[in-house]
Structure formats: C-alpha cells, structure tokens
Structure 1
Amino acid sequence: MDIGVFILLGIVQGVAEWLPISSKTQIMFVATALMGYSPALAYSLGLFLEAASVIAALLYFRNVYVSALRGLLGDRAGRRWLTYFVVTTVVTAVVGLPLYLTARAFLMGSAAAGWLMIALGLAVMINAFLLQKARRAAAGLKSFGDMTLRDMALVGIAQALSVLPGVSRSGATTSALLLLGYKPEEAFKASFALVPIAGLGAAVLSYLTEKGAVATPEAALAMAVGVVVSLATISALLRFAKSGRAALVNVVVGALAVAGGVVRLLAPG
C-alpha cells in the first residue's frame, strides 16, 4: 500500500483535528478516494488516527493534566480542571455512544459524509458572524476559572456531537465556549485539552469495533506524522486565537469544509 497516502493521512489528521473542520471526515475522504476503503471502515480509521492528537495534546498540555492530578490532593485550580474533565467526559459518553453506533450503521454505502461536510461548512461560516458578535458583547469577561457545571455539561454535549461524520470536535467545543462568552485563547485551550479523553475513547472504540483492522504499521506511520504536525498546529492556533481573529479562521475552514463535501459527493464510490 502506498506509504505516501498514509503520510498524507497523518498531515490531514495533524491539521484538521484542531480546526473547525472534521478530521474524521477528511480522513474518510482520503481513505475512500485514494485507498478504496468503504465509508464505514474509513470512518473507523479516522477515529483510530485520533490517537495522534491524543499524544500531541498530552505533550503540549502536560501542565494542565499535572494540575488536574493535583486537584485530587485539594489544589483549587487543579480541582476545576479535574471537574471539567469528569463532567464533559460523562456527558460525552452518555450522549455520544448511541450517536456513534447510529452513525456507523448509517454510513454503510451512503454519501452522508459529503452532505454532513457541506452542512458543517455552512454552519461554521454562519457561526463566524455569531462568534464575532458574541466576542464584541462579552470579550474578555470569562476565563477558565469562571467555568460552571452548566457550561461543562454544554461543552460535553457539543463534544458528543463530534462522533457524527462531518462534525468537528474542536469546532463544536470551541464554538460552544466562545458563544458562552469565554476568551478565544481560553476557549481554544479548554477545547484542545479535552482531546486525550475523547480521542482515546474514539480510538479504542474504533479498534474494538473493527477488530484491529485499522491498526496496521502504515497507520502507525500516519499516527507519528500526525503527532508532529499536531504540535505545530496547536502552537500556531493558540497564537492565532490571541490575535482576536477567530471569526476569520471559521470563514476560511468553513469554505474548505464545503469544498471538501462537494468533492466527496462527486468522488466515485
């Protein structure tokens, strides 16, 4: 099998995971168009490669996770991070598992991915204007220290929706946090820090449902490339978030998602 395609998959994963565009769907497009995978198997491969994002997030946000562990010992800041991880994870599991099983069955031989990519792209572009309005109304008013249980639950629901192909985990959670009034840099950080929990669950679920069919040496190569590219992408996006131009990136990636969805629908098979 062409090693170059798996390197491309790693690059796609390393960039798309952190943008308001579904990495799973982009992986699906590449895997079905260039590798002949069925939509269901390509979907599972996209979930499996999220392990690359898990490793990258653990490396980049290691101080956050250490702080959360300190929360077990009574550290106040760490306790808030720990609570955030627990609440969002529980809500995501309760809402996300039924969605995953439904999505996987629905994808068999369908063009759902293309339509969902288009819907996501349009939603992200429209949301760009809502985000800009929200930032003008409440920019800088809320930091992570202001996070409530209600906000955590809403982020968990947004994250659960990302098991559907065409729905971006980072896009859904970051958008939810921005619309709740959090600073862009705080929203990006809180969204990205959730990747190890959600991504690890997705990768394990994919491995179990496909009985290891997606765990190949070539996929391991794609994963390694994805880690390196992810670290560079996270750093760039966090700097970008501090620039106050979050709406602009939504417009750009929304347009890319629409284009990707159209290409997916036109692709043979």
Structure 2
Amino acid sequence: MVVEESMSWLQVVVLSLLQGLTEFLPVSSSGHLSIFSKIFFGHDAGASFTAVVQLGTEAAVVVYFAKDIYRIAMAWFRGIANADARGDEYRLGWMVIIGTIPIGIIGFLFKDVIRESARNLWITAIVLILFSFVFLAAERWGKQNRDVDPKTLKGMDMKTTLAMAFGQCLALIPGVSRSGATMSAGMFMNLSREAAARYSFLLAIPAVLASGLFSLPDVFDPQAGQSATGIQIVIGVAIAFAVGYASIAWLLRFVQNHSLAWFAGYRIILGLVVIGLLTAGVITPTLTSA
C-alpha cells in the first residue's frame, strides 16, 4: 500500500469539521472522510487519521454524558464490592463492558482489512445505499414500545445490548455508520429512537477510545494513507470535539420526533453521486490507484 504525502492544514481542518458533524449522525463519518478526501484533496487520509480524530468526538461524548458515566461507573464499583448494591445502573455498566467485546475482537483480527481493503469507494458507496434500507426497515418494523427510560436507560437488558454490540461491529465497514447500525439494532429490539441513540453513544465510548489510542502511533508513520504532524492531530481532535458536542445535543433532540428515513434519503443520494463520479472516472476507488 502506497503512503501519500503529509496532510495539509486545510485538509486537517475540513476533515476534522466533517468528523465532528457526521460522527453521531447515522451517515457514516468514516465513509464521509474517505469520500471527501478523495473528491476535494485527491487522497484518502487513511484509517489511522480517522481513528485518532475520533478521539475528539468521543471526548465530546464523555463530557456530554459525564454525569451518566459517573453514575454508572460508581454503581458498577459499588456492585463489585457489595452484592446488595447491584441495581439497574450496575447491570448497565456490565452491559457496556460486555457490549464492547465483539468489536474489540473483530477490529483487532481484521485491522489490516479495515485499514486497507475495505477503504474502497465502491464498497463505501454501495454500503451507504444498501444500509439505508436497514434504517427504513427498523422504522417500519421496530415497535419502539419497550419500557426503557430514554434518559436513564432503566430497563435495558443483555439481549438488546448484544444485538446493538454486533450492530456496532458492522460499523467497521466504511459507509455503515456506527450510530446508524446500533440505533437500528436497538429499534429492531423495540427500543425508542431516543433510548437507542443514548445507549449507542455510551456503547461507543470504550471501543472508539481504544481504537483511537491504538492507532495514534500509526498516524505519524502510516502504512497507508497520509501522515499528520502532532500539532495537526491536536487541532483536529479539538475541532472534532467542539463540533461533535453540538452534534450530540442536536441528534438527541431530532430523534425524539423525526424518523431515520431523513438520513436514509441523504445516504442514498450521496451513494449514487459517488457511484456516478467513480463510473465517470472523476475519482478513483482506492488509495493505490491514485
């Protein structure tokens, strides 16, 4: 795999803004970074840059949900020490931990495929379109009548956690969308959109933080994609944090009264545009063919 030149400051700023805007929307942030990198900058920045800049958006999740995270963590530690203190929040802590295991295993075993072979714009465009119909199916057949509090997630169970955990694994493919896959899985298990979105955020924290930290050395000396300097990474993470924080608040309000079909429509249009550009030879599908 060929490694391209260093990233420009314009590219870092644009992609970091894009990461913050799209990380929490069910439109695939990794797919957007790959597509926009090729269209506007002629290169794919690479999976390592994508993983590291996600640290900014995940920091936004940690700050936004700080009270929830603290409450769940304290309940988990109390429950570990005292069996009589094991309530809903203790169990929710275990659900997040166990729900992180599948993506950790699959991400580690297939890391080379994820970083190289899967970053093909034909795959991204087709997945953007096809997975949109999963959103529509979740809206159509998900009853959204489960007795799960959308604010505290009281009532969540392990079966729903595992369904959303394996949905999260699909997000390793650019074009799927982590939030879209996990929310759809939750809705198929009859969660409301708001409860599915909130749990999706919590479930993503350990996996994305681990992925970003694991990829940090590679972003300075990548095996594929472009390299970035330390200050570029710091600025990129800061931009993604600020924009991502605003995106979380917006999405949680939006899903209370609006269908995922809005995002499905956008994804289908974007996928068709990318297929058109690939067919016309305006952009190339992979890094090696650039």
Which residue number corresponds to residue 200 of structure 1?
Answer: 209
Letter in 2 for 1:132: E
Q: RMSD in angstroms over aligned alpha carbons?
A: 2.4
Instruction: Trace 1:107-126 onto structure 2 (pairs within 5 A).
Output: 112-126=119-133
Partner secondary structure for residue 120 of structure 2: helix
Higher mean displacement: 226-235 or 241-250:
241-250
Letter in 2 for 1:73: R
Which residue number corresponds to residue 18 of structure 1?
Answer: 24
Task: Name whichever structure is richer in helix by fraction.
Answer: 1
Partner secondary structure for residue 145 of structure 1: coil
Instruction: Trace 1:122-161 onto structure 2 (pairs within 5 A).
Output: 122-135=129-142, 138-143=143-148, 144-161=153-170
Q: Is 1:92 the counterpart of 2:98 in the alignment?
A: no
Deviation of 1:124 (Å): 3.2
Deviation of 1:196 (Å): 2.2
**Per-residue Cα deviation, 1:60-118 (whole angstroms, up to 9, x for no partner):** 111221122122213523213211211111122122222323222425xxxx5312222
Which residue number corresponds to residue 15 of structure 2?
Answer: 9
State TM-score, norm by structure 1.
0.86
Which residue number corresponds to residue 195 of structure 2?
Answer: 186
Deviation of 1:214 (Å): 4.1
State TM-score, norm by structure 2.
0.80
User: Retained in 1: the 8 A contact 2:138–2:185?
Assistant: no
**Per-residue Cα deviation, 1:1-22 (whole angstroms, up to 9, x for no partner):** 6433222112110111112222
Deviation of 1:165 (Å): 2.5
User: Retained in 2: the 8 A contact 1:120–1:258?
Assistant: no
Gaps of 5+ in 1: none
User: Retained in 1: the 8 A contact 2:168–2:181?
Assistant: yes
Letter in 2 for 1:46: T
- Distance in 2 between the 1:161 and 1:236 partners? 24
- Pick aligned residue for 2:237 from 218, 223, 234: 223
Deviation of 1:211 (Å): 5.4
- Identical positions, percent: 20
Deviation of 1:257 (Å): 4.3
- Pick aligned residue for 1:237 from 251, 255, 262: 251
Gaps of 5+ in 2: 1-6, 80-84, 222-226, 285-289
Larger radius of gyration: 2
Letter in 2 for 1:218: Q
Instruction: Trace 1:169-180 onto structure 2 (pairs within 5 A).
Output: 169-180=178-189
Deviation of 1:260 (Å): 4.4
- Distance in 2 between the 1:174 and 1:128 partners? 9
Deviation of 1:248 (Å): 2.5
- Distance in 2 between the 1:12 and 1:27 partners? 7
